[in-house]
Chains A and B, each alone.
Chain A
Amino acid sequence: MAQAEHLSPWQTLQRRTKHGDSLFWLVTLFFALLVIALVFAVGYVTWAGSSEARARFGISFLFQTGWDPNAQNFGALPAIYGTVVSSGIALLLAGPLGVLIGIFLAELCPMRLRSSLSFLIELLAAIPSVIYGMWGIFVFVPFFRSAVASPIAKSIGKSVPLFSGPVATGRGVLVAGIILAIMMLPTIAAITRDVIAVVPNHQREAILALGATRWEMIRKAVLPYAQAGIIGGLMLGLGRALGETMAALMVIGSIKDKISSSLFGGGITAASLVASELPNANNSLHEATLILIALVLFGITLVVNALARLLVWRTSRGPVGNIRA
C-alpha cells in the first residue's frame, strides 16, 4: 500500500502507458489538433504574407478602382464588385430553383426515383470546376452571346444601362453568374432536401388532417419548420460561389481595372484575380496585395459558412453528415 505512494514520476508514466492506450490517445489527439492548427495556419500565413500591402494601403484599397501592377497601383473594388455581383446573380437564379428541387426530392418525388435523382443532382457538384469553365467557353458563352445577350443589348439595352452592349466576346459578369448558379444548385438542393427530411411527420399529418393540399402542407407546415436550415443551405451555396475560382476566371472576361456598368461587360472576381496574377506577380507589393485579397476572401467565406452551418445544425439538431458543400 505504502509503496504505491512512492512511485517515481517515471514509474507512474510507465504504469499509465502500460497498455499503450494513453500513447495511442495522444497520437490521435496530436493529429486531431493538427487539423485545428491547419485552419489557424491558413489564417496566419495569409495575414503575415499580406503585411506589406496592409501597411501600405490599409483598408482603403478595397474601395478603389484601378489595377496596374507595374505602377504599383492597386484597387480591389472591381474584384469585390465582380465577386458580389456574380455570386448575387447566381444566388438569385439558383436559390429558388434549388429550394424547389429540394422540396421535390424530399416531399413529392416518387420513392423509386428519389435516390437516383438526388445522385444525378449531386453529380453536378462532383464535376471539376475547370470543366464548367471549359464548357462555358466553348458551348455556353457563344450560345448565350448570340441567343440572349446580343438581342437584349440591341433592344432593352438601349434604354437600360445594366443590359447595354457592346457584347464583345460574350464573356462577362452575367455569364459567370449563370455558370456559378449551376455549380451551387446541388448544394442548395441537397441541404434543403436534408433539412426537410428531418421535419417531424406529425407536422404534416396534423395539417393534412385539417384538409390542406400537399402544397399547403409544404408551405404552412414543412417550410416554416425547415426555414432556418434552408437559409443555411442558401448561404452555403453562396459561400461556394464566392470562392469559386476556375469557372469564374474562364468566363468572366478578366477586366481588372474598371467596373463595367453593363452585366454583359467583363469583370473579375477576387478568387480569379489571385489565381491569374499570383503565379507571375512582378514585385513583392503585388504579391502581398493578392495575398491580402485572398485573406479578405477567406474571412468573408469563413463568416458566411460559419453562419450557414449554425443555421443548418440548429435545424437538424446535429451535424449534417455526407453533405458535400
Chain B
Amino acid sequence: MITQAPNYSRRKWADRFMRGLTVGATTLALIPLFLILGYVVLRGASALNLAFFTQAYEPPVVGAGGAIGNAGGVLHGIVGSLLIVGLALLMALPIGILAAIFLAEYPANSVATAVRFCTDVLSAAPSIIVGVVAYVLIVQRTHQFSALAGSVALTVLIIPVIVRTTEEMLKLVPSTMREAAIALGAPKWWVTLTVVIPTALSGIITGVLLAFARATGETAPLLLTVLGNNNVSFKLLEPMAALPLLTYKYTDTPFPAQNTLAWGSALVLTILVLSVNILVRWATRNRMK
C-alpha cells in the first residue's frame, strides 16, 4: 500500500508556488519588451514619411498659436550612421577574421587563451571607455571631432563579436574536409582560404550582421567622437550626424516635432536590430538543435 509522506501536501504546494513564480518572472520580463517595442512602433510609425528620409535638420519654426512646424528629417543621421559603421566594419573585418583563424585553425596554445580572454574583456568593457580612448587618441591629437574617430571606437567594440562568431563557425567545419584538401597536396593556408572559409561563410556573415547591428545602435562612444552635425556630411575627418545620436538629441528637446523624429529614428534602429536578430536566428536555426 502506498502511503503519503506526512508533509506531502506542503511540499506539493511549495512546488506549485515556486513553479508559478518562475512563470510569473518570465511573463514579467516580457512586459517591458512588448511595451518598449509597442511604443517605438506606434509612435515611430507616425514619424516615417518622405521628409523623414529625404531632409536633414530644419530649424523649428514657431507658427500661429505657438505650434511648432516642420522639423525636417534624419537623412544626415542615416548617411552618417552608414558611413561610420561601414568604415568600422571595413577595419574590423580583416582583424577579426584573421584573429579568429588563428584561434580556430592552429592548435590550442597560450596565445589563443590570452586572445579569448581579451575578446571577453573587450566585449564586456563599457562602450564609453572605448569612446574615451578614441577621444584621447584621435580627437585630442587632431583637435577635431571626426567620423573617423567614431569608426575607430566602433571597430574596437565589434572586433570581439566578429572574432567570437567566426571562431565558432570555423570550428563547425568538419575536419574531414580539411584533411581531404591537405591529402590532395594543398598547403594549409590555401585549405583555410578556399575550403574552410567558404564552408563557414554563411556563419561568418551572420556574425558580421550581428556586429553591424551592435555598432549601429551604439551611442555613447559616438557622443565623444563624432559629436553630431546638422547637415548631410561625407567628410570623414569632420563631425558627422548619426541615427542614435539624433535619437538622444531629439529626446530632450521641447519641440514635439523633434520628439517625433526621435521616435522615428528609434523605430529605424529597432527594425534594423530586430531584423538582423531574426535573420540570424533563422539562418542558424539548424545549428542550434
Q: Which of A1-9, A154-162, A293-301 contacts B (4 or more CB under 8 A)?
A: A293-301
A42-B130, A279-B145 as given contacts; A271 in contact with B220, CB under 8 Å: yes
Answer whether residue A206 sits at the interface, using C-beta atoms and an 8 A cutoff.
no
Residue contact B129 to A294, C-beta cutoff 8 Å: yes
Q: Which of A59-67, A69-77, A99-107, A255-263 contacts B (4 or more CB under 8 A)?
A: A99-107
Quick one: CB contact mask for A104-127 with B, threshold 8 Å, 1 for yes? 110011000001010111111011
Answer whether residue A216 sits at the interface, using C-beta atoms and an 8 A cutoff.
yes
A24-B189, A97-B29 as given contacts; A243 in contact with B218, CB under 8 Å: no
In the assembled complex, the Cα of A9 lies from the Cα of B239 at a distance in Å of 51
A251 CB, nearest partner CB in chain B, Å: 11
Chain A contacts of B24 at CB under 8 A?
Answer: 100
User: Which residues B103-120 have CB closer than 8 A to chain A?
Assistant: 103, 105-106, 111-112, 114-120
A contacts with B: majority SS: helix
User: Which residues A267-325 have CB closer than 8 A to chain B?
Assistant: 271, 274-275, 278-279, 287, 290-291, 294, 297-298, 301-302, 305-306, 309, 319, 321-322, 324-325
Quick one: closest A residue to B245, CB to CB? A130
In the assembled complex, the Cα of A243 lies from the Cα of B218 at a distance in Å of 13
Chain B contacts of A10 at CB under 8 A?
Answer: none
In the assembled complex, the Cα of A226 lies from the Cα of B262 at a distance in Å of 43
A223 CB, nearest partner CB in chain B, Å: 11
B interface residues, tally (CB under 8 Å): 95
Residue contact A243 to B125, C-beta cutoff 8 Å: yes
Answer whether residue B146 sits at the interface, using C-beta atoms and an 8 A cutoff.
no
Quick one: CB contact mask for B207-224 with A, threshold 8 Å, 1 for yes? 000000100111110011
Chain A contacts of B270 at CB under 8 A?
Answer: 127-128, 131
Chain A contacts of B252 at CB under 8 A?
Answer: 137, 250
Chain B contacts of A298 at CB under 8 A?
Answer: 125-126, 129
Chain A contacts of B128 at CB under 8 A?
Answer: 243, 245, 271, 274-275, 294, 297
Residue contact A32 to B102, C-beta cutoff 8 Å: yes
Answer whether residue A38 sits at the interface, using C-beta atoms and an 8 A cutoff.
yes
B190 CB, nearest partner CB in chain A, Å: 8
Of the candidates A36, A133, A279, the one whose C-beta lies within 8 Å of that of B118 is: A36
Answer whether residue B234 sits at the interface, using C-beta atoms and an 8 A cutoff.
no
B217 CB, nearest partner CB in chain A, Å: 3
Residue contact B244 to A291, C-beta cutoff 8 Å: no
Residue contact A128 to B244, C-beta cutoff 8 Å: yes
Q: Which of B34-42, B57-65, B68-76 contacts A (4 or more CB under 8 A)?
A: B34-42
Chain A contacts of B130 at CB under 8 A?
Answer: 42
Q: Which of B45-53, B82-90, B273-281 contacts A (4 or more CB under 8 A)?
A: B273-281
Chain A, interface size category, equals: 35 or more
User: Which residues A171-192 have CB closer than 8 A to chain B?
Assistant: 182, 185, 189
Residue contact A214 to B19, C-beta cutoff 8 Å: yes
Q: Which of B7-15, B173-181, B194-202 contacts A (4 or more CB under 8 A)?
A: B7-15
Quick one: closest A residue to B95, CB to CB? A31
Answer whether residue B232 sits at the interface, using C-beta atoms and an 8 A cutoff.
no
A285 CB, nearest partner CB in chain B, Å: 14
Residue contact A39 to B118, C-beta cutoff 8 Å: yes
User: Which residues A13-63 have CB closer than 8 A to chain B?
Assistant: 19-21, 23-25, 27-36, 38-39, 41-42, 45-46, 48-49
Residue contact A21 to B187, C-beta cutoff 8 Å: yes
Residue contact B11 to A33, C-beta cutoff 8 Å: no
Quick one: CB contact mask for A218-259 with B, threshold 8 Å, 1 for yes? 110000000000000000100110111110011000000000
Of the candidates A39, A122, A128, A325, the one whose C-beta lies within 8 Å of that of B269 is: A128
Residue contact A243 to B163, C-beta cutoff 8 Å: no
Chain A contacts of B257 at CB under 8 A?
Answer: none
A36-B118, A38-B118, A321-B164 as given contacts; A279 in contact with B227, CB under 8 Å: yes
Residue contact A108 to B94, C-beta cutoff 8 Å: no
Chain B contacts of A12 at CB under 8 A?
Answer: none
Residue contact A34 to B126, C-beta cutoff 8 Å: no
Of the candidates A97, A250, A322, the one whose C-beta lies within 8 Å of that of B25 is: A97
Chain B contacts of A49 at CB under 8 A?
Answer: 132, 136, 140
Residue contact A132 to B36, C-beta cutoff 8 Å: yes
Of the candidates A23, A211, A244, A294, the one whose C-beta lies within 8 Å of that of B132 is: A294
Answer whether residue A213 sits at the interface, using C-beta atoms and an 8 A cutoff.
yes
B13 CB, nearest partner CB in chain A, Å: 10
Chain A contacts of B213 at CB under 8 A?
Answer: 126
In the assembled complex, the Cα of A45 lies from the Cα of B112 at a distance in Å of 24
Of the candidates B119, B126, B247, the one whose C-beta lies within 8 Å of that of A244 is: B126
Chain B contacts of A30 at CB under 8 A?
Answer: 98
A32-B103, A35-B119, A129-B219 as given contacts; A101 in contact with B22, CB under 8 Å: yes
A–B Cβ pairs within 8 angstroms, 24 of them: A20-B189, A21-B187, A28-B106, A31-B102, A32-B115, A35-B115, A35-B163, A36-B115, A38-B118, A49-B140, A96-B25, A97-B25, A101-B26, A104-B22, A105-B26, A108-B22, A115-B288, A127-B217, A134-B248, A213-B15, A250-B251, A298-B129, A309-B120, A322-B168
Interface residues of A (CB under 8 A from B): 19-21, 23-25, 27-36, 38-39, 41-42, 45-46, 48-49, 96-97, 100-101, 103-105, 108-109, 115, 117, 119-124, 126-135, 137-139, 182, 185, 189, 211, 213-216, 218-219, 236, 239-240, 242-246, 249-250, 271, 274-275, 278-279, 287, 290-291, 294, 297-298, 301-302, 305-306, 309, 319, 321-322, 324-325
Nearest 4 A/B pairs, CB to CB:
A243-B126, A128-B217, A24-B189, A104-B22
